[in-house]
Amino acid sequence: MTTKLIPYLMSEDARKQAGFYAQSLGGEIQSVMTFGQMPNTPEADKDKVMHLAVEVAGGLTIFMSEAYGGSVDGEILDTFGVTWMDATQ
């Protein structure tokens, strides 16, 4: 069985960090979704990144998000194909 690492990074500034990775690793930002695209999001959180995907050289896609409501979370796919998600607050 082949294991595929799927990085999902939490960031204080996902757009800036993704731009750095795209420039440094030869890739581009594929998509950005903000919390403001969801209903009832507080005004202060509307510009925060909910999901961002940046594809870099070699076909690796890095997913990123900014913390919402003080939580930090991420996920990783293990050798057995199980997705593990973690969160802290």
pLDDT value, residue 32: 96
Give the residue carrying structure tokens 């913390």.
Answer: 67
pLDDT value, residue 10: 78
What does pTM read for this prediction? 0.70
Domain assignment of residue 73, yes or no: no
Domain assignment of residue 80, yes or no: no
Output the domain CATH number for residue 48: 3.10.180.10
Strand partners, 64: 9, 52
How many domains does the chain contain in total?
1
Domain assignment of residue 74, yes or no: no
Domain assignment of residue 87, yes or no: no
Domain assignment of residue 47, yes or no: yes
pLDDT value, residue 50: 92
**Parent domain of 9:** 1-67
Domain assignment of residue 77, yes or no: no
2 Cβ partners below 8 Å, 6+ apart? none
pLDDT value, residue 89: 46
pLDDT along the chain (89 residues), means of 10: 73 88 92 95 92 85 74 61 61
Q: For residues 2 and 34, what is the distance between their CA atoms, to the nearest angstrom? A: 33
